[in-house]
Structures are given as C-alpha cells and as structure tokens.
Chain A
Amino acid sequence: MSTPTPPVVVLAHSPNQSAGAAFEAAVRQAGWRGARLVILNASTGESLVDPHHARPSDLADMTGRAGEAGVDAVVEQPIGPDVATIILDRADALGAELIVLATRHRSSIGKLIMGSTAQRVLMEADAEVLLVKDTDR
C-alpha cells in the first residue's frame, strides 16, 4: 500500500441540500489531509429536469473555490438508478479516505418513502463518513 498518489476525499454533492456547508467541510478536510477532492454529483436521471443534477456553472464555481483554498478538485456526474450505490461504488473505486455528505431534516412521510442515501452510505461505506447538517436554516 505504498502508493504515491494523494488520498481522496469524496463529496457527495446535491444542489438541493445544505450543499454549501458540506462543500466547505469537504474542502477543509481535503486541505488538512493533503487530499484530492472528488465532487460526486450523482443523479438518477429519472426526470427530464432533475433538481439533484447540478448546473455546470455551479460545479465550475465549486472547483474554482476549492482551487483557491489550495485543494485539487475534480467533478464527476454519474447517472444510475440508485444514488447511494453510486456513491459507495465510486468511493470504493477511488480508494477514498473520507466521504462527506449533507443531511437535511425530513418529515416522517419523507423518511418512509425516500429511504436515506446518507443512512446507507454511513452503514455500508468502508471509508470514514462525515455528515454535515443543514446550517443555512
């Protein structure tokens, strides 16, 4: 395990949630660890217009801000039926050290129907997981 490549921090990014706080935490973590940041914007591709699918301009803005903080960031926008699986698989493949996720408050009906991406990642990931709460509201 003597690879010279820098460690990887994966940010599971979804524009709807408390994305700002999670992004800042991910950049801070990547800075401390001297890690590369992979911004993973996974969406199901189920709707023609998907609010979870980030705009190219916003993603460019994020990599720019990470660069200003001295963190090397790349963006991936994979599409698949299940977001949690995508995050777990990509983190695995990248050999990620840490996965950063945003969580938000959900109603009980929302919990019943939607399941939880965060919950599945937390339970099944091999890497460390950092959950960032919604601090905007």
Chain B
Amino acid sequence: MSVSDNDTDRASGRGEIVLAAGLVGVGLYMLLSAQGIPVPPTDHGPGPRVFPYAVGAGLALVGLWLVVAVLRGDRAEAEAGEDIDLDTGTSWTTLGLLAAILVGYVLLLEPLGYLLATILFFGGVAWTLGSRNWRLLLLISIVLPLVVFLLFTRGLGIYVPNGLLQAVI
C-alpha cells in the first residue's frame, strides 16, 4: 500500500493499447501457425484448422478495433467492487511483491512439499497485504494451511504430496 500512480497510464490508454496490440500479435501468430496443423487424410470434415483460423482472425480484428477505439479516446471503467478503492490508484509495489511470491510458491511447491510451501505462501501474501501483527500472522499462517492440508488429505482423502514433511505428517 505505498506507491500509487493515480492511473495516468490508464488515462493515457497506453497500457490498454499494448494489451490490444498483444491480441493482434497472438491472432496473427495463430493464423500463421494454424497452417502447420497437420490434417489427417482421413478427415472428411472441415478439419482441425478452420476454427484456429477463425479465432486467430477474430483476435486480430478485435485487437485492431480496440487499438483504434482506445486511440480515439474510448476508455472503460475499471472494475469496481465492495472491497475496492479505485481513487487511490494501483499499488504496484503490492502487485510486484505478490507476483514474486507467486513465482516462489510455484518453484518451492515440489521441493518443500505442500504444507511448508503453503505456510510460507500464506504468510507472505498476508504480510504483503498489510498484516503486521507478527504473532497473529505466524499463528494463522501455520494453522490455516495445516487445517486445509488435513481437511483434504485426511477428511476428503485426496493425496497431496508433502515433500520434506512427508514422513512427519
């Protein structure tokens, strides 16, 4: 909750143009690479290429439409919600930290096992979102993943690999 940009980027539409141009790029890529999808000689229908062509063309056209629309000043309202304050702008620090935690979680999930990785993950996310009561943070970060883990493995009988702690719990 520190830096906010007051969304000058949203107002200028630069970000959305990049996004829409990305759609055009993906659409063109689909059009080109759909030619490479092999068509088995036994196929008597329109084959596996037709839909990719259609979707690729659609993506490219809609992307172009959006680029033009945004350049001409068309802006949509960002999504509102009961727990959202759009006036303060986007906190990129929060988002960046969260992204780093997400990547870390994906990388650590297998080596550490579900329980340990999730404890770190939960604690990290909660801390990033502003929880500063250390004792409470520590307690919940351990108890909640543990309860979820036990609920799924013992309660619902679903196997969840537990890496380092496999032998313990």
Residue numbers of A with Cβ under 8 A of B are: 44-46, 48, 81-82, 112-115
Contacts and interface: CB of A to CB of B under 8 A. Distances in A.
B87 interface: no
A113 B132 CA distance: 12
B83 interface: yes
A115 B82 CA distance: 31
Interface string B75-107: 000000011000000000000000000000000
Contact of A46 (B82, B130, B135, B139): B130
A115 B83 CA distance: 28
Interface residues of B, number: 9
B132 A81 contact: yes
A113 B139 contact: yes
A interface, over-half SS: loop
B131 A112 contact: no
Contact of A113 (B82, B83, B131, B136): B136
B82 A48 contact: yes
B interface, over-half SS: loop
A81 B131 CA distance: 7
A137 B132 CA distance: 31
B133 interface: yes
Contact of B136 (A45, A48, A114): A114
Given A48-B82, A48-B83, A114 B135 contact: yes
Contacts of B136: 113-114
Contacts of A48: 82-83
B38 to A, nearest CB: 54
A46 B129 CA distance: 9
B135 A115 contact: yes
A40 B48 CA distance: 68
Nearest to A82: B132
B135 A113 contact: yes
Contacts of B83: 48
Contacts of B133: 82, 113-115
Contacts of B132: 44, 81-82
Nearest to B129: A46
